[in-house]
């Protein structure tokens, strides 16, 4: 058995882990970047790097990844009505995202971290004991701090006692690829039975050339036992898109599914010398399932906290999350929980109402800002004022909900 020592062990080399390793290495830390996979590797994802994520890359001095630029988004109601959500430049983010596969994006970010000085360590983690990471082949990595960037079902979070699975907001999604050009990304609100809303949404996102990404995500709450519903409903959802002439091609190749943990509920993001970032911390937008921007934002924040002092990093990091993504999650997570636990018929009526002629168009601009968690960087104007007002009302309404109360407790680690 061999043992080596570094300043920080980062477990997981997805966008969160690679950004954490990049910032730490640039700051002079000795970093081991551990991942079980051989890169490049695929991940279940919509393959969209949104405006906030691009802003993080810019702040890190990294170029925009190559790929088609994506701006406006179509919301497709269950009856086929469409609402166009505008894409506008903010004070802190651009007016577009980029379509890029995780196969290419994750490898690119990991190579940037390695170029900055992080040491790649291939291996599967068998356990975490305080600040020692044990690999299945017997190697042990000792560090001052461990960063868990190992996804929604994080072994690091479990080993450190930082996750309470029955309290978390779980989800599951499956995606595949089709050969079809797509000009604008489509978010599809769907009734899987007549008059009964599906507790999630589907998508059709543009990709490279004539390739598009199609997927279906399902909100589960605390009960993960029905995750197979997303897989079982996938073909029926694709048939629905074909009937609406949105999807024109069969799904080919390998389909991938993955767990989601949303809104940070049921997870303490940091304690002692263990910090969780990205999906491991539950940093997924509860309203539309985006994970890449929150992952990279949290990773940079965790790395900065560690560089300022490992002994107090956990407290600083939790405070940063509470003042940033936590403010949004206190509104979005209770809405998500209420939507997936509510009556399917009530959900169907709501989604139909949101896409009624005149209604959808009237609320499209603030909807785009709120849906994508862009209010804090949006430019001054009526849209931003409406968005901020809606968030303020949402915080008041949700403040006493069980979900919001639990989230506040987790962020404070009480």
Is 308 a member of any domain? yes
Phi, psi (deg, nearest 5) at residue 308: -80, -10
The C-alpha R_g of the chain, in whole angstroms, comes to 21
**Residue 132: burial class (beta carbons within 10 Å; 0-12, 13-18, 19+):** middle
The whole-number pLDDT of residue 3 equals: 57
Is 269 a member of any domain? yes
Q: How far is Cα of residue 305 from the mean position of the Cα atoms in its chain? A: 21
Is 251 a member of any domain? no
Is 283 a member of any domain? yes
CA dist 378 and 9 (Å) reads 36
Residue 191 pairs in a beta bridge with: 197
Coil, helix or strand at residue 343: coil
Is 353 a member of any domain? no
Is 344 a member of any domain? no
Structural domain of 267: 3-70+100-166+263-326
Coil, helix or strand at residue 277: coil
Cβ atoms of residues 187 and 201 within 8 Å: yes
- 239 pLDDT exceeds 70? yes
Is 203 a member of any domain? no
The 10s digit of each residue's pLDDT in 11-56 is: 999 999 999 999 999 999 999 999 999 999 999 999 999 999 999 9
The 10s digit of each residue's pLDDT in 103-119 is: 999 999 999 999 999 99
Name 196's Cβ contacts closer than 8 Å, sequence gap at least 6: 344, 345, 347, 348
| pTM assigned to the model | 0.95
Q: Which CATH number covers residue 268?
A: 3.50.50.60
What are the tokens at 109?
């970010």
- Give the chain's domain count: 1
The 10s digit of each residue's pLDDT in 57-87 is: 999 999 999 999 999 999 999 999 999 999 9
Q: DSSP E strands: which ranges in 86-185?
A: 97-99, 119-122, 125-129, 132-135, 140-142, 145-148, 169-179
């Amino acid at each position: 058995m061999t043992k080596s020592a570094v300043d920080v062990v980062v477990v997981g080399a997805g966008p969160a882990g690679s950004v954490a390793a990049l910032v730490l290495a640039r700051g002079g830390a000795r970093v081991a970047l551990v991942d079980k996979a051989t890169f490049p590797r695929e991940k279940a994802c919509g393959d969209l790097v949104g405006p906030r994520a691009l802003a993080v890359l810019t702040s890190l001095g990294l170029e925009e990844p190559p790929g088609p630029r994506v701006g406006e988004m179509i919301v497709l109601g269950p009856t086929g009505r469409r609402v166009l959500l505008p894409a506008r430049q903010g004070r802190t983010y651009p007016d577009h995202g980029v379509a890029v596969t995780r196969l290419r994006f994750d490898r690119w970010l990991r190579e940037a971290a390695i170029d900055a000085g992080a040491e790649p360590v291939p291996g599967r983690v068998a356990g975490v004991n305080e600040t020692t990471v044990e690999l299945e082949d017997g190697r042990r990595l000792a560090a001052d701090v461990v960063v868990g960037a190992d996804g929604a079902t994080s072994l690091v979070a479990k080993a450190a006692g930082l996750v309470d699975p029955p309290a978390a907001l779980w989800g599951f999604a499956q995606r595949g690829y089709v050969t079809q050009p797509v000009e604008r990304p489509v978010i599809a609100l769907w009734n899987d039975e007549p008059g009964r809303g599906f507790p999630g949404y589907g998508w059709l996102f543009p990709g490279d050339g004539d390739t598009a990404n199609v997927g279906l995500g399902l909100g589960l709450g605390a009960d993960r036992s029905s995750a197979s519903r997303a897989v079982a409903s996938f073909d029926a959802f694709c048939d629905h898109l074909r009937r609406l002439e949105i999807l024109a091609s069969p799904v080919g190749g390998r389909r991938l599914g993955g767990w989601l943990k949303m809104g940070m509920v049921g997870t303490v993001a940091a304690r002692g010398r263990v910090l969780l970032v990205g999906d491991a911390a539950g940093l997924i937008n509860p309203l539309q399932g985006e994970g890449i921007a929150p992952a990279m934002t949290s990773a940079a924040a965790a790395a900065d906290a560690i560089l300022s002092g490992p002994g107090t990093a956990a407290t600083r990091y939790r405070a940063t999350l509470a003042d940033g993504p936590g403010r949004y999650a206190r509104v979005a997570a209770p809405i998500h929980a209420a939507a997936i636990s509510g009556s399917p018929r009530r959900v169907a009526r709501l989604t139909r109402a949101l896409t009624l002629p005149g209604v959808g168009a009237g609320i499209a601009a603030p909807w785009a800002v709120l849906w994508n968690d862009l209010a804090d960087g949006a430019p001054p104007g009526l849209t931003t004022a409406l968005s901020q007002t809606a968030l303020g009302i949402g915080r008041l309404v949700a403040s006493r909900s069980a979900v919001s109360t639990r989230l506040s407790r987790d962020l404070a680690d009480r």
